[in-house]
Structure 1
Amino acid sequence: MSFVKHASSPRAAQWEAAGLDWLRAAGGATVVEIVAIEQETLALQRLRSASPTPAAAEAFGRALAATHAAGASAYGVGPDGWDGDGFQGPADDMLPLPLRPYESWGAMYADLRLAPLLEPRVECRRSEAGEAYRDQRGDGVRVSRLAPLAELAEPVLRRLRDGEFDGSCPAPARLHGDLWSGNVMWTADGAVLIDPAAHGGHPESDLAALALFGAPQLERLLASYLEAAPLADGWRDRVPLMQLHLVLLHAVLFGGGYVDHARAILRRYA
């Protein structure tokens, strides 16, 4: 029996399928099987959930390191054979995921992952999250809560584009791209990846995403990953920076406390 998932469009379904196939081809972490794809409908292997054990977490850490090590042709590219931008966000409210090749991770992260979410035209998309507030100057102009983040982000984007963090990532990793804890299904046979936004990037991004909403057995998972693929010095200090993309995405989608979270991260690295 399969699990039927409806994407927002046929292209969005193709994007998800391409990411699943690309991650599976790495030969590392287990990836949910595609049973069939038709228009905007994906039929996927039905998974039975189970409690994650320490041994399963350790196995997943090693397997994820192998997935990352499979690499990508450049930073910022999508799965092999994919043309154009991808998609990010929930199936009912997807945003473009800009894709194009970069030689520098920092420039890619600034240009493709952060800056598009900070553009002036971007507003909180959910009505309850997108309530405007009066400008602090008192002139009655109503602006989005996201607007002040763009100016605050300028020094962070500059540091990234100047290559200050590039030494921590010597080669592009094959990323899941949206590896928050809900996109890891724990089964009796171990962890299974679902719902990717797969692209070439920094391996610390996937690990930071796992920490963002508290993946189970996280420290065991990280320890086994580090045994298989040590990270550059100072990786724990970079965790909030690596989380910034997903935090900004949540700020755009949901507003609320995510806007404040993004502001705190930007101030930390400004």
Structure 2
Amino acid sequence: METYRKQRAGAPAGFFACEAAGLRWLAVRGGAPVVTVRGVGADHLDLERLPEVAPSRRAARELGARLAVTHDAGAPRFGAPPPTWDGDGFFGPLDQPLPMPAGDHERWGAFLADCRIEPLAGLARQRRALAPADLDALARLAEVLRRGDLDDDEPPARLHGDLWSGNVLWTPAGATLIDPAAHGGHRETDLAMLALFGCPYLDEVLEAYQEVHPLRRGWQHRVALHQVYPVGMHAVLFGGGYAAQLRRLVAPYV
């Protein structure tokens, strides 16, 4: 099998080791396939090269069912990194990855406030990516989350963490996950990421997922909440219309 080398000179310390740890942690028996790690160094990650094919309904259904198994493998706490990685993770493109704080939280709301919403607001303020009113709205959202208003009894799931459609490769062996930001989180977060940029056959993915692990009632109305962090980070990284999109996502919760 051929090898694909992902590399970047001057990558942040541990960047590729963190990704390798995430891929290995996500390789759950019966779970969603992940690309195989072949080697890792300070400035590169060697992976199995995957041939690509067109998406299909059958592959989408298999992805949904197997992703539920991955999530059900669980994590010790909300924000927990892969067990062979000690420290924060990374989020963003290879040429400018940003820190993604790890956590050790019993409740999801407190984790989201401490490790996602407040760091996002700090980066946005530093880069002047959001208006003061948007920063105030993020602060109010953090307060709502810390109060536990949006918590439930879901235990921490084993998340890919950056599961937009570009991180799903459709191969002859089925849909395979790449480029994770793996951590313990809420299962709805990965599913909301799949929806964010239009995963092929998303309805099939979700239907098959729920045949293995039914989602809590009202999950459709929480998609926006789970998209706040990735859309906000896109506003920080790329600007454009992401700030307005973030404003619409936050509004129902504050």
CA deviation digits over 1:131-151, x for unaligned, max 9?
xxxxxxxxxxxx653443210
* Cross-structure match for 2:135: 150
* Cross-structure match for 2:83: 80
Q: Which amino acid aligns with 2:110?
A: A
Q: What SS does the corresponding residue of 2:79 show, helix, strand or coil?
A: coil
Compared CA separation, residues 63 and 258, structure 1 to 2 (3 A): same
Q: Which of these residues, 114, 139, 147, is aligned with residue 162 of structure 1?
A: 147
Cα distance, 1:123 vs. partner? 4.1
Q: Is the 8 A contact 1:29 1:66 kept in 2?
A: yes
* Cross-structure match for 1:3: 4
Quote the Cα distance in structure 1 between the aligned partners of 2:55 and 2:124. Answer: 42
**Structure 2: runs of 5+ lacking an equivalent:** none
Q: Which amino acid aligns with 1:119?
A: G
The count of corresponding residues between Structure 1 and Structure 2 is 251
* Cross-structure match for 2:170: 186
CA deviation digits over 1:90-146, x for unaligned, max 9?
11101111012000001101110111010277444xxxxxxxxxxxxxxxxxx6534
**Structure 1: runs of 5+ lacking an equivalent:** 125-142
* Cross-structure match for 1:102: 105
Q: Is the 8 A contact 1:118 1:146 kept in 2?
A: no
Question: What is the alpha-carbon root mean square deviation over aligned residues?
Answer: 1.5
Q: Is the 8 A contact 2:124 2:236 kept in 1?
A: no
* Cross-structure match for 2:33: 30
**Runs of 4+ deviating beyond 3 Å:** 120-124, 143-147
Q: Is the 8 A contact 2:89 2:100 kept in 1?
A: yes
TM-score (norm 1): 0.89
Q: Which amino acid aligns with 1:79?
A: P
TM-score (norm 2): 0.95
Q: Is the 8 A contact 1:110 1:157 kept in 2?
A: yes
Q: Which of these residues, 218, 228, 231, is aligned with residue 247 of structure 1?
A: 231
Quote the Cα distance in structure 2 between the aligned partners of 1:145 and 1:201. Answer: 26
Larger radius of gyration between Structure 1 and Structure 2: 1
Percent identity between the aligned chains? 46
